[in-house]
Amino acid sequence: MKTKNKKNIKKIILVFILIIFIALIFVINKDKFILKDYINKRGTEEKKEVSDEVDKYARQRENMVEQRLKTRGINDDKVLDVMGKIERHKFVPSGLVNQAYDDNPLPIGYGQTISQPYIVALMTQSLQVDQDDRVLEIGTGSGYQAAVLAELVKEVYTIEIIEELADSAEERLNHLGYKNVKVKNADGYFGWEEHAPFDAVIVTAAANHIPPSLLQQLKDGGKLIIPLGSTLRFQTLTLVTKKGNESETEFITGVRFVPLTGKALE
């Protein structure tokens, strides 16, 4: 009788252990399901937040292209595509992000500005660059114009006289993956002779004359664009096409740029 009771007790203990084991498995699986569900929901929310942000700026870029570029004569499809692709809000100070796609120049510090989208598109379109071209830019600023050109040409060489801007632009462009852009802190008046000749030269600051070195470093048949005139008031956006020892000049439109500093002011 005692032996039978012992067997019954063992069975009860085994059944009890089995019940506990099954309950533990259920609890663990339930916790995993809850955790997985939480992670999935959180991941969906985070993706939605990112998606909303991307969509927000994508719509602003689309509006910029449709309303501020196409309606004003920017008709080069490659330029329009690039302007609609590049995230201009990453090239302006954080406090001005909400104004990034307005058609206005914005301050970037040190008395400098990032040009309005229309002017960036107009200058780029006027150069008529090709994918195998090498372009020299004078006045890097925040790096936005260099990024636009980098999407269209083989190599961009850009010079910025203000060291802090040159350093931040170089870091920004590298971070955004523009490996075909080289940044130099120097006086752009003298160009970048060791990488000359260039297929095109773009000057994003005003001067009352064209620096001779820039014309010398321009290939025959190449184009140079510069805001030319008074550095205190308005200038004329001027396109120069090099033809041997001569040049052909076209006046595009009135503009207002900050002055080219350094040797140009002497």
Could you read off the pLDDT tens digit of each residue along the chain, which spans 266 residues? 555 555 566 666 666 666 776 666 655 555 554 445 544 555 545 444 444 455 689 999 999 999 999 999 999 999 999 999 999 999 999 999 999 999 999 999 999 999 999 999 999 999 999 999 999 999 999 999 999 999 999 999 999 999 999 999 999 999 999 999 999 999 999 999 999 999 999 999 999 999 999 999 999 999 999 999 988 889 999 999 999 989 999 999 999 999 999 999 88
- What is the model's pLDDT at position 49? 47
pTM of the shown model: 0.80
- What is the model's pLDDT at position 125? 98
Active site residues: 115
Q: d(Cα 235, Cα 228) in Å, to the nearest integer?
A: 5
What is the DSSP code string of 158-204? EEESSHHHHHHHHHHHHHTT-TTEEEEES-GGG--GGG--EEEEEE-
Q: d(Cα 132, Cα 174) in Å, to the nearest integer?
A: 21
Residue 19 makes CB contacts below 8 A (sequence gap 6+) with: none
DSSP state of 129: -
Residue 118 makes CB contacts below 8 A (sequence gap 6+) with: 68, 69, 72, 74, 103
Say if residues 238 and 248 touch (Cβ distance below 8 Å). no
Say if residues 189 and 183 touch (Cβ distance below 8 Å). no
- What is the model's pLDDT at position 128? 98
- What is the model's pLDDT at position 35? 46
